[in-house]
């Protein structure tokens, strides 16, 4: 899903990387052969987003095009293709729900509905206080702990239910939410606890040394 550039907010006139981030910019560019500096475009977009409160203004894309000596439209193409880049403000907490098949089968639709009801907004909207923005994205690669959401592009909240997700949102606002499984599961171990092939064989009636 591409991200449309919205116009109902102010775009800053200028963007410059901080001194600290300019050091990182140079390091990223140095990873590629001379003349191939455009390959650093994704890393620079990520840096710009981190520096600018979680979204990339048009001025930042222009600055990146200038630094990498590439057409502005090429930077725009990359930034609008990936859902990990935000081209408009997404609130203090950007919640990206995975709604792809494994998460959907595990109940993501109910989890999304519970969040929408709790916050009084729909997917694609931001709460009036600017605290939360809800989005849906494709598979986040954590299907074994479905349903999941990603917070501010970094942390995963997993094993969500319509009940525990509401508590997660409240805890997040209070600054005490903890990423990972919300049912106490250790990483992605079996829901029914640890098992071994030996146990499974025993259950299946396989005799020892057979």
In this complex, which beta carbon is closest to ligand FES, that of residue 76 or of residue 156?
Answer: 156
To ligand FES, the closest distance from the beta carbon of 187 in angstroms equals: 14
Residue 177 binds ligand FES, judged by CB under 6 A? no
Contact, 89 vs 135, CB < 8 A? no
- The closest alpha carbon to 8, from 124, 110, 113, 168, belongs to 124
To ligand FES, the closest distance from the beta carbon of 103 in angstroms equals: 3
Instruction: List, in order, residues 6 or more apart from 185 with CB less than 8 Å away.
Output: 145, 158, 159, 191
- The closest alpha carbon to 160, from 175, 141, 176, 142, belongs to 142
Residue 142 binds ligand FES, judged by CB under 6 A? yes
Q: Which of 143, 155, 162, 173 binds ligand FES (CB under 6 A)?
A: 143
Q: Which two tokens stand for residue 103?
A: 């998460």
Residue 165 binds ligand FES, judged by CB under 6 A? no
To ligand FES, the closest distance from the beta carbon of 160 in angstroms equals: 10
In this complex, which beta carbon is closest to ligand FES, that of residue 54 or of residue 102?
Answer: 102
Residue 139 binds ligand FES, judged by CB under 6 A? yes
Stretch of 32-40, 72-80, 94-102, 116-124 contacting ligand FES, by CB under 6 A: 94-102
DSSP letter (8 states) at residue 38: G
Q: Which of residues 99-118 bind ligand FES (CB under 6 A)?
A: 100, 102-103
> What dihedral angle (degrees, nearest 10) is formed by the CA atoms of 162, 164, 170, 173?
-100
Question: How many degrees, rounded to 5, is the angle at CA 137 between CA 142 and CA 127?
Answer: 115
Residue 148 binds ligand FES, judged by CB under 6 A? yes
In this complex, which beta carbon is closest to ligand FES, that of residue 65 or of residue 160?
Answer: 160
Q: Which two tokens stand for residue 49?
A: 């987003």
Residue count, binding to ligand FES (CB under 6 A): 11
Instruction: List, in order, residues 6 or more apart from 71 with CB less than 8 Å away.
Output: 65
Asked, as a colleague might, if the bond just before 87 is cis with ω within 30 of 0, I would say: no
Stretch of 3-11, 26-34, 110-118, 143-151 contacting ligand FES, by CB under 6 A: 143-151
In this complex, which beta carbon is closest to ligand FES, that of residue 38 or of residue 140?
Answer: 140
**Positions in the binding site for ligand FES (CB under 6 A):** 98, 100, 102-103, 139-143, 146, 148
């Amino acid at each position: 899903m591409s991200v449309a550039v919205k116009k109902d907010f102010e775009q800053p006139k200028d963007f410059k990387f901080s001194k600290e981030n300019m050091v990182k910019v140079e390091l990223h560019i140095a990873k590629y052969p001379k003349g191939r500096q455009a390959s650093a475009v994704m890393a620079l977009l990520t840096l710009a987003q981190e520096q600018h409160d979680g979204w990339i203004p048009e001025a930042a894309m222009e600055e990146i095009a200038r630094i990498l000596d590439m057409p502005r439209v090429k930077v725009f193409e990359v930034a609008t293709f990936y859902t990990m880049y935000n081209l408009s403000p997404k609130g203090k907490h950007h919640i990206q729900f995975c709604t792809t098949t494994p998460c959907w089968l595990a109940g993501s639709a109910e989890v999304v509905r519970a969040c929408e009801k709790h916050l009084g907004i729909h997917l694609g909207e931001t709460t009036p206080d600017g605290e939360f923005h809800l989005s849906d994205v494709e598979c986040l690669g954590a299907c074994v702990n479905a349903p999941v959401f990603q917070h501010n592009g970094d942390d995963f909240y997993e094993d969500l239910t319509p009940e525990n997700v509401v508590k997660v949102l409240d805890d997040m606002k209070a600054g005490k939410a903890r990423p990972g499984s919300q049912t106490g599961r250790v990483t992605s171990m079996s829901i029914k606890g640890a098992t071994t092939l030996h146990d499974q064989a025993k259950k299946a009636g396989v005799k020892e040394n057979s």
